[in-house]
Amino acid sequence: MSMIVFRYLHFLGITFWIGTAVAVAVAASAPTPWESGIAQALRKVTVRVTTPSMLVAFVGGFGMLIPNFAETYAKQGWMHTKLVLLLALAGATGVLTGKLRRWAEGQDVKAKTFVRLALVISTLAILIVTLAVFRPF
């Protein structure tokens, strides 16, 4: 595959991954999110869109990273920082999925938890994009 295909997959995956993760977290934190069926619907969105999009983003990103790693990216501090933040972002997405699962099973999950997750996911995404665009170090 050419580099442009990997770049397209990476951008498409990121857009859907971050977009749905933040949208689901915000929807779950609404003032009255405890109505029946909402938890299951939000969990379906996460399982059917967010997680596959994350995998597409990883495939596209690693497809661009691996061929050029030794010559370019292994020596770039911004790439190492971006990869660490990427792992934190994947972890935050996993926490979101777990909280939605617990909520769908009937356990009590506070709305503030989803607000915090939306902020964490948004902040990590902004930091990652900033590193990728400006390559500061």
**Cβ 49 vs Cβ 57: under 8 Å:** no
pLDDT tens per residue, range 50-73: 999 999 999 999 999 999 888 778
pLDDT tens per residue, range 28-54: 988 665 566 888 999 999 999 999 999
| Structural domain range at position 68 | 3-134
With 0-12 CB in 10 A as exposed, 13-18 as middle and 19+ as buried, what is 99? buried
Q: What is the mean pLDDT of the chain?
A: 92
pLDDT tens per residue, range 73-111: 888 999 999 999 999 999 999 999 999 999 988 888 898
pTM recorded for the entire structure: 0.91
Give the chain's domain count. 1
71-78 CB contacts, 8 Å cutoff, 24+ apart:
76/135, 76/137, 77/137, 78/131, 78/132, 78/134, 78/135, 78/136, 78/137
